[in-house]
Amino acid sequence: MRLLVTGGAGFIGSNFVRHVCAERPDWEVVVFDLLTYAGDRRNLAGLEQVKLVQADICDEPAIDAAVASADAVVHFAAESHNDNSLHSPWPFVQTNVVGTYQLLESVRRHEKRLHHISTDEVYGDLELDDPAKFRPDTAYNPSSPYSSTKAASDLLVRAWMRSFGVQATISNCSNNYGPYQHVEKFIPRQITEILEGRRPKLYGSGENVRDWIHTEDHSSGVLAILERGRIGETYLIGADGERNNRAVVELILELMGRERNDFDHVNDRPGHDLRYAIDASKLREELGWRPRYNDFRAGLEATIAWYRANVAWWHPQKLETEAKYQVLGR
């Protein structure tokens, strides 16, 4: 198997590549990644099965050549941060929509199997007391420029499957955490704020709920779908990890030896989604997938230890990220 992984130098893509190298040592992996501010070749260090092609998914000849020489493609490449999409939406339209279009045209031309990575945010948000969770047939209702471009990319994949017979699957996963996540995201931002001697920053009231999953569990779900998923189907990936942001900040503070109330409330995110929750029963029942990282406290402790031990990895991103937040008052 020669597997092409777009966005494989980012947080989740590189975790998936490491997972594949460990689980399928005879596969060849080609990572196709532009190495934007969010990509880092160090995330792939020491992986002998992996070759990196640094190029833009919107560059038609480059993506076409990469697809032509692969057996299958897993598509992670995206602009991924909601806050960035609120002040600079164009790269999201370009990479998430136009990039996915270019990839679809290539897999169509070369008749290659595609797995498309998406997010639970395409379904919009839920009330705190809504007993319903997102399911594969939940109507799309995205809120932000980020989630609307991810929704658009999913709809392109669906249309290319139906209209042109492209052999694809889609997965929509909830919020990931773990090592190698960019410090712009919630959990690494708070850990590194504390490591730098500052206070965590909670948007608004902190009542917003996210459904946390360890990135290793996301990767095992994607591999199961790539190998055993039914063509044409959408699978939701989640590990029943709902928690509100305030509870997560309090736990990080406790695990790092600080008072649980040692945080600041900052300006809320405009249009801030209230709650996400995934019903992953289709993935569990059809493919027998189970999350292995069920202890959030232990997973968070290990993640904190990773950021403590890898200051050189995150420190260069930190200054630039906080400068951006300062402009936004967050």
326-330 LR contacts (CB < 8 Å, sep 24+): 328/83, 328/87, 328/267, 329/266, 329/267, 330/83, 330/201, 330/203, 330/266, 330/267, 330/269
Q: Is 60 in the site for ligand NAD (CB under 6 A)?
A: no
Q: Using the rule CB under 6 A, is 186 a contact of ligand TDX?
A: yes
**Which of 202, 222 has the CB closer to ligand NAD?**
222
Shortest Å, Cβ 298 to ligand NAD: 19
Nearer to ligand TDX, 81 or 258 (CB): 81
Secondary structure element (H or E) that encloses residue 221, with its range:
helix 215-228
By CB under 6 A, the residues from 61 to 80 that bind ligand TDX are: 80
Catalytic residue among 146, 177, 235, 276: 146
* Minimum distance, C-beta of residue 197 to ligand TDX, in the bound complex (Å): 17
Tokens of 168: 């694809």
Beta bridge partner(s), residue 209? 244, 275
Chain centre to alpha carbon of residue 210: 13
From 33, 120, 184, 216, active-site residue? 120
CA 122, chain centre distance (Å): 13
Stretch that binds ligand TDX, among 100-108, 197-205, 218-226, 281-289 (CB under 6 A): 197-205
Residue of the chain from 121, 211, 216, 250 that contacts ligand TDX (CB under 6 A):
121
Q: Is 81 in the site for ligand TDX (CB under 6 A)?
A: yes
Rounded CA gap, 136 and 33, in Å?
Answer: 29
How far apart are alpha carbons 187 and 86 in whole angstroms?
20
Reduced to 3 states (helix: H, G, I; strand: E, B; else coil), residue 262 is coil
The verdict on 103 binding ligand TDX (CB under 6 A) reads: no
When the beta carbons of 178 and 200 are compared against ligand NAD, the nearer one is 178
Encoded one letter per residue, x for contact with ligand NAD by CB under 6 A and - for no contact, window 13-52 reads x-------------------xxxx-xx-------------
Instruction: Check residue 208 for interaction with ligand NAD (CB under 6 A).
Output: no
Q: How far apart are CA 171 and CA 250, in angstroms?
A: 31
Rule CB under 6 A: is residue 145 a binding residue for ligand NAD?
Answer: no
Note whether 32 and 114 are within 8 A (CB).
no
| Interface with ligand TDX, residue 175, by CB under 6 A | yes
Residue closer to ligand NAD by CB (options 252, 258) is 252
Name the CA radius of gyration of the chain, rounded.
19
* Of 77, 151, 226, 249, the one binding ligand NAD by CB under 6 A: 77
User: Which residue among 121, 125, 184, 193 is the active-site one?
Assistant: 121
**4, 12, 126, 209: which one binds ligand NAD (CB under 6 A):** 12
For residues 239 and 66, give the distance between their C-alpha atoms in angstroms, rounded to a whole number: 33
Residues 6+ apart with CB under 8 A from 182: 10, 11, 37, 38, 81, 188, 317, 321
Residue nearest to ligand TDX (CB): 119
- Give catalytic status of residue 121 as yes or no: yes
Contact between 117 and 222 (Cβ < 8 Å): yes
Q: Which does 114 bind (CB under 5 to 8 A by kind): ligand NAD, ligand TDX, none?
A: none
101 tagged catalytic: no
Reduced DSSP (H G I as helix, E B as strand, rest coil) percent helix, strand, coil of the chain, to 5: 45, 15, 35
Decide if 33 is catalytic. no
> What residues line the site for ligand NAD (CB under 6 A)?
7, 9-13, 33-36, 38-39, 56-58, 76-80, 95, 99, 117, 119, 150, 173, 175-176, 182
Catalytic residues: 120-121, 146
